[in-house]
């Protein structure tokens, strides 16, 4: 059931139940348990960027100058606080972070980059890569995935 939900959380309880062999009330109880256990953290609407209006996407590679716990926490908190930061990953290798930005136009993207990266004295280096075309996006996790405490594989 988790696999079905992560691709379309708007399905009816009846439809989900038919797919996994459960009654709608059993599906509702299971979804409530997934939420309570933190397995489902939130549900969102995914907007079609082609119908929404102009959007500039950019991937920014970031290296911090000082790498104490406090410096990493400050950077992460700043990334979380900006709605234009779609994704942010701490990574291994020559870069410390990969950040995905969404802006309304090139000027907004430049201003956002200046605000988030150029104005931060603890950023040693950053490189912005503009996205020309979206090939694939998604947040779905591959199944079957081992789930602690869920012996039925998430169905």
Whether residue 104 is predicted with pLDDT greater than 50 in this model: the reply is yes
Instruction: Return the domain boundaries, the chain.
Output: 2-36, 49-130
Distance (Å, rounded) from C-alpha 135 to C-alpha 131? 10
Kindly list the distances between the CA atom of residue 98 and the CA atoms of 16, 53, 137, in Å, as whole numbers in the listed order: 36, 25, 15
Cα–Cα distance for residue pair 93/139, rounded to 1 Å: 23
State whether residue 64 is helix, strand or coil: strand
In this structure, CATH architecture of domain 49-130: 2-Layer Sandwich (3.30)
pTM of the model: 0.78
- pLDDT tens sequence across 17-33: 999 999 999 999 999 99
CATH number of 2-36: 1.10.10
């Amino acid at each position: 059931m988790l696999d079905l939900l992560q691709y379309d959380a708007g399905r009816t309880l009846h439809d989900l139940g038919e797919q996994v062999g459960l009654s709608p009330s059993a599906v509702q109880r299971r979804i409530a348990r997934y939420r309570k256990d933190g397995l489902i953290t939130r549900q969102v609407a995914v907007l079609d960027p082609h119908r929404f209006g102009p959007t500039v996407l950019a991937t920014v590679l970031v290296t911090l100058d000082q790498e104490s716990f406090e410096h990493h926490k400050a950077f992460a908190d700043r990334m979380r606080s900006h709605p234009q930061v779609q994704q942010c990953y701490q990574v291994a290798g020559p870069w410390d972070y990969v950040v995905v930005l969404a802006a309304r136009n090139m000027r907004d993207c430049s201003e956002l980059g200046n605000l988030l990266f150029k104005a931060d004295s603890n950023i040693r280096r950053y490189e912005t890569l503009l996205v020309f075309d979206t090939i694939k996006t998604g947040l779905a996790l591959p199944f079957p995935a081992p789930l602690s405490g869920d012996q039925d594989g998430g169905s």
